[in-house]
Chains A and B, each alone.
Chain A
């Protein structure tokens, strides 16, 4: 659906986006992940034609992209990073959405607005001044606005930052639901833990450079050098973690309630050996699971060398 080749954006001498190749397949949730200042918003703005790329090609819906083609924009929905709702704070939610519905020439706008608002549970406040909306409500309103014209692709720039857990869950459900209906979704975020729950495919960007781009699972598999095996026991004797640590292939081990968390190298299957060791000790494994490495951990691995970035991540959590 969207492809970029060697996309570069320079602000003066500073290179914000440095040769990014993206490939966003139809119908998937695509995550562009990276710390603050990595160049995510700049990339999205180039895709939207708001910012002119310094170099590189963009293909949108299979055509070379021309920002003057206003008609193509009717196939795109955007939830931007910042919401300039202040400009329209005097409007009611309905009036605000109606304006955009007319802008996109949405048919049967009244019904569409009501339907979407009830989907995000905002029906109650349809005639409330949006100046009085909370941040979560505004975010949902922004979603509704982006979805009014039933776009083929939805761009979400940092859609969950600044939301409370309930808000995050509502937005996540909304994203998943929209995707189930076949909509392509492009999300940018620096909150990696949330994204790994929803993205099918991710690109990791740091200092304007694409560090990796792949399907979620293979990315995780390829990038982690170690793995965790979780074994549930009836109880864990206190000396057990230290004994397990002494095994040649075990890198680390600790108890977590009745679960033994064992870190092993990425290659090889250690489940058999571990269960034999436990049975020898008269302990019966109730279940053995291999834990996928979290995206966040993978991300740290990829960009570990960048201390500043780690700090930035720490800040944002």
Chain B
């Protein structure tokens, strides 16, 4: 690991020295990939040397054929594109071969994708062709309307404020003159500021600007693709394998665990077997989410084509929050308590020890006008050693079995010396055995 890092650094320095700050760029044919990863769309690209593209089965993924500059960025150890220098989309057709079926010829299609707001987070839709334009223009209309409403709002607001100034000015003046101000006060009381218009709430992710690309939606399997230029030539470096895979299991429950003192460093707990060990110094804030299980290598490569993964391991991938859930905690004393999701606010701790503190969100009080930092389940941790069992219930009140967890507080000091000495018991036994053995020889 370290050797490799050192190697990279050395290679990097040499590169710096030789090319004075400019990494080697090569013009290459690439597939720019927008792959649906189960949660959202993530972009990556397959450079000429890459032989395989990884995609999830049964979802729309978007490929574009491009010429661009590609270079290796040694600091992060990844390949990047330089689209500033060159970003030329290629027109042509994409041929997809499989062992079983006839090759399919694809031509670029217009598309957009968007996520609609709902109880669950993931409500992804893809619109293609004319529909894409329609969806996008609907959204643009909404945005236009919103902007219109906003400018109207500002006009009204200005009107309101000038009227307010006027009234208050008149009141002071009339008072000075000793006149009656009742009618003006009446007006002041009934005056209301104009309501600020809400941005369109239909989407959590609004439709992206309509683009054009090859839409690939394949069942599980292995395929080969190649790109043909309009005059029918096979593009050099365009022949690749596509591995289409699916999740092995779904609907697992993972927890994001936020310690009270380090809210920037959450960790995740993936399976009911996994135990959460803590030192008991702060409370925990849990955020349960649904997760799906994928092949480690396939998933990593789908997200970033030049990354590495383990082909023989499966891993759980976070998908979306469990909405309107409920957690039951049973500590060792057996008194079950129910916890619900609450909003919290992260306050900066004043003074010498910089840090954060998570406090309940006080909408009417000191946090008025702000948004809560997190919504989570607050799990108080007792300092004395113990086991806390957690079960999760969904919005219908049904228990989700894979949401079970154990939280264990490890004792600070423990029994280290004893454990250390215990390791020498075999030697003690050896002494005894050999002593008796020697006695046996002598008599």
Q: Which residues of A contact B (CB under 8 A)?
A: 92, 127-129
Residue with the greatest number of chain A CB neighbours at <10 A, chosen from B441, B442, B443 = B441
For B440, list chain A residues within 8 Å (CB). 92, 127
For A129, list chain B residues within 8 Å (CB). 441
Q: Using a CB-CB cutoff of 8 Å, which residues 427-441 of chain B contact chain A?
A: 440-441
In the complex, A84→B442 CA distance in Å?
A: 23
In the complex, A142→B442 CA distance in Å?
A: 22
In the complex, 6 of the A-B residue pairs with CB atoms within 8 angstroms, ordered by the A residue number, are A92-B440, A92-B441, A127-B440, A127-B441, A127-B442, A127-B443
Write the chain A residue with the least CB distance to B438.
Answer: A129
- Nearest CB on A from B442, distance (A): 8
Q: Which residues of B contact A (CB under 8 A)?
A: 440-443
Write the chain B residue with the least CB distance to A132.
Answer: B441
- Nearest CB on B from A118, distance (A): 18
In the complex, A92→B438 CA distance in Å?
A: 11
- Nearest CB on B from A93, distance (A): 11
For A127, list chain B residues within 8 Å (CB). 440-443
For B441, list chain A residues within 8 Å (CB). 92, 127-129
Nearest 6 A/B pairs, CB to CB: A129-B441, A127-B443, A92-B441, A127-B441, A127-B440, A128-B441
For B442, list chain A residues within 8 Å (CB). 127
- Nearest CB on A from B304, distance (A): 61
Q: A127-B443, A128-B441 are in contact. List 6 more A-B contacts (CB 8 A).
A: A92-B440, A92-B441, A127-B440, A127-B441, A127-B442, A129-B441
In the complex, A265→B210 CA distance in Å?
A: 130
- Nearest CB on B from A312, distance (A): 41
Interface of B is mostly: helix
For A92, list chain B residues within 8 Å (CB). 440-441
In the complex, A127→B441 CA distance in Å?
A: 6
In the complex, A312→B442 CA distance in Å?
A: 43
Write the chain B residue with the least CB distance to A92.
Answer: B441
Write the chain A residue with the least CB distance to B441.
Answer: A129
- Nearest CB on A from B438, distance (A): 10
In the complex, A129→B440 CA distance in Å?
A: 10
In the complex, A127→B440 CA distance in Å?
A: 7
In the complex, A92→B443 CA distance in Å?
A: 11
For A128, list chain B residues within 8 Å (CB). 441
- Nearest CB on A from B441, distance (A): 5
Write the chain B residue with the least CB distance to A91.
Answer: B441
Write the chain A residue with the least CB distance to B442.
Answer: A127
- Nearest CB on B from A113, distance (A): 16
In the complex, A252→B443 CA distance in Å?
A: 62
In the complex, A127→B438 CA distance in Å?
A: 11
In the complex, A128→B441 CA distance in Å?
A: 6
Write the chain A residue with the least CB distance to B437.
Answer: A90
In the complex, A77→B64 CA distance in Å?
A: 88
- Nearest CB on A from B435, distance (A): 15
- Nearest CB on A from B262, distance (A): 60
For B443, list chain A residues within 8 Å (CB). 127
- Nearest CB on A from B237, distance (A): 63
In the complex, A72→B264 CA distance in Å?
A: 81
In the complex, A254→B440 CA distance in Å?
A: 62
Write the chain B residue with the least CB distance to A90.
Answer: B437
- Nearest CB on B from A141, distance (A): 16
- Nearest CB on B from A242, distance (A): 67
- Nearest CB on B from A129, distance (A): 5
- Nearest CB on A from B396, distance (A): 70
Write the chain B residue with the least CB distance to A95.
Answer: B440
In the complex, A92→B442 CA distance in Å?
A: 10
In the complex, A52→B440 CA distance in Å?
A: 42
- Nearest CB on A from B443, distance (A): 6
Write the chain B residue with the least CB distance to A128.
Answer: B441
In the complex, A105→B34 CA distance in Å?
A: 79
- Nearest CB on A from B11, distance (A): 58
Write the chain A residue with the least CB distance to B443.
Answer: A127
In the complex, A129→B441 CA distance in Å?
A: 6
In the complex, A128→B440 CA distance in Å?
A: 9
In the complex, A121→B142 CA distance in Å?
A: 114
- Nearest CB on B from A122, distance (A): 16
- Nearest CB on B from A228, distance (A): 54
In the complex, A242→B441 CA distance in Å?
A: 67
In the complex, A152→B442 CA distance in Å?
A: 36
- Nearest CB on A from B76, distance (A): 62
In the complex, A92→B441 CA distance in Å?
A: 7
In the complex, A92→B437 CA distance in Å?
A: 10
In the complex, A201→B26 CA distance in Å?
A: 97
- Nearest CB on A from B327, distance (A): 63
- Nearest CB on B from A5, distance (A): 50
In the complex, A291→B360 CA distance in Å?
A: 124
- Nearest CB on A from B57, distance (A): 61
In the complex, A129→B443 CA distance in Å?
A: 11
- Nearest CB on B from A2, distance (A): 40
- Nearest CB on B from A155, distance (A): 31
In the complex, A128→B442 CA distance in Å?
A: 7
Write the chain B residue with the least CB distance to A127.
Answer: B443
- Nearest CB on B from A97, distance (A): 15
- Nearest CB on B from A201, distance (A): 44
- Nearest CB on B from A88, distance (A): 14
In the complex, A129→B442 CA distance in Å?
A: 9
- Nearest CB on A from B388, distance (A): 55
